[in-house]
Amino acid sequence: MASVEVDGYLIEKLISEHEIQVIVQELAERIYTDYQGRVPVLVGVLKGANPFMADLMRELGRGNPETGRPIMPVEIDFIQVHSYDGQVSSGEISQSFDLSTSIKGRDVILIEDILDTGRTLTSLMDRLAERKPNSISICVFLDKPDRRKVSVEAKYCGQQIPDKFVVGYGLDWKQKFRYLPFIGVVGQAVASQISTPPLLLS
Ligand code: IMP
Ligand code: MG
C-alpha cells in the first residue's frame, strides 16, 4: 500500500479505512452471535481503543439488514492504563482512570487497540475480575502474536499483524498519529528540520 506524508513523517499504509470497516463488521457479527439477548458492557481502554470502540458500538447499534443482524444494545465505560513510553513497553502497568459504573454480574467485553506483550490485558483482566462480573472477554483490533510475553486469550481479534510498530486508528507514537483513519507504519522523517526520526523495531 502507498505511503503518505503526515506531520513531517512518511507513513506506510498497512490497513485501509475500508478494510477497517470490514473487520469491524465481522467482529460485530461474531459478538452479536455470542451475546444476543444480553446487554454487554463494552469497556474501552483509553486512549487507544477510542476509535475502534466507537466504530464497534455504532456497528452493533446499526445492525445489518443484509445478514439479518438486528440492533444490539450495549453499555459503555472506559478505563485507562499506561504501559508504554514511546515504543518501549515498561512492563509496569499503572491505572489512571477507572470505570464509572459497576460491572458486578455484567458481561464485560474489554475493548483494546492492540495486543502486544499481553501485559496490559492480563493486568486489566485481573483487576476487573475482582469486581465479580458474570463474564469477561477480550476484543482487540490488532494482535502481534510474535511479541507475546504473557499468555492471554483474545476471544475477538480483528487482524494479526507482524512485529511492526503501527500507528493510527487510535494507536500512537509519542501521542502522535492517533487521529489517522487507517493503520500505518512510521518510516523516515521527511522534513529536514526533524532531526530524530522514530526508530523502527524491525
Ligand atoms: P502490551 O501490554 O504489551 O500488550 O501492550 C499493549 C499496549 O501497548 C497497547 O494498548 C498500546 O497502547 C501499546 N502498543 C503496543 N504495540 C503498539 C504499536 O505497534 N503501536 C502503538 N502502540 C502499541
Ligand atoms: Mg493502549
97-121 average pLDDT score: 96
120 in contact with ligand 1, CB cutoff 6 A: yes
User: According to the model, what pLDDT value does residue 63 have?
Assistant: 97
Determine the pLDDT at residue 61.
97
pLDDT tens figures, 24-83: 999 999 999 999 999 999 999 999 999 999 999 999 999 999 999 999 999 999 999 987
Q: How far is the CA of 144 from the centre of ligand 1 (A)?
A: 9
pLDDT of residue 91: 66
Return the domain boundaries, the chain.
21-188
Q: Is position 116 annotated as part of the catalytic site?
A: yes
Which CATH fold topology does 21-188 show? Answer: Rossmann fold (3.40.50)
Q: How far is the CA of 181 from the centre of ligand 1 (A)?
A: 18
170 lines ligand 1 (CB under 6 A): no
Cβ-contact 9, 190 below 8 angstroms: yes
Write the pLDDT tens digit of every residue in 115-141.
999 999 999 999 999 999 999 999 999
Atom nearest to 118 CA in ligand 1? 4
Contact 86, 174 (CB under 8 A): yes
The finding on whether 109 has its CB within 6 A of some atom of ligand 1 is: no
Whole-prediction pTM: 0.92
Residue 104 preceded by cis peptide, ω within 30: no
Contact between 47 and 170 under an 8 Å Cβ cutoff? The reply is yes
Q: Render 58-115 in DSSP notation, one character per residue.
A: HHHHH-BTTTTBPP---EEEEEEEEEEETTEEEEEEEEEE--SS--TT-EEEEEEEEE
Mean pLDDT of all residues in 107-117: 97
Which residues lie below 8 Å from residue 179, measured CB to CB, with a gap of 6+? 168
Ligand 1 pocket residue status of 123, Cβ below 6 Å: no
Nearest atom, ligand 1, residue 81 CA: 10
pLDDT of residue 202: 38
Catalytic residue among 116, 126, 146, 163: 116
Q: Which of the four pLDDT bands, split at 50, 70 and 90, describes residue 93?
A: confident
Residues in the chain: 202
Residues 6 or more apart whose Cβ sits within 8 Å of residue 92: 83
- Tens digits of per-residue pLDDT, 155-202? 999 999 999 999 999 999 999 999 999 999 998 776 554 545 555 543
Say how far apart CA 30 and CA 122 lie, in whole Å: 22
Sign for the CA dihedral angle at 93, 98, 103, 109 comes to: negative
Q: What does the pLDDT read at residue 135?
A: 98
Check the CA dihedral 158-27-4-198 and report its sign. Answer: negative
Return the ∠ at Cα 44 (arms to 39 and 20), rounded to 5°.
95
Q: How far apart are alpha carbons 4 and 123 in whole angstroms?
A: 36
The Cα–Cα gap between 161 and 200 comes to 15
Question: Which of 15, 21, 61, 63 shows the shortest CA–CA distance to 40?
Answer: 61
Collect residues with CB below 5 Å from ion ligand 2: 48
How much distance in Å is there from the Cα of 192 to the middle of ligand 2? 30
**Are 84 and 92 contacting, i.e. CB atoms less than 8 angstroms apart?**
no
Closest ligand 1 atom to 165 CA: 19
Identify which of 9, 83, 167 to mutate to test ligand 1's pocket (most ligand atoms within 8 A of the CB).
83
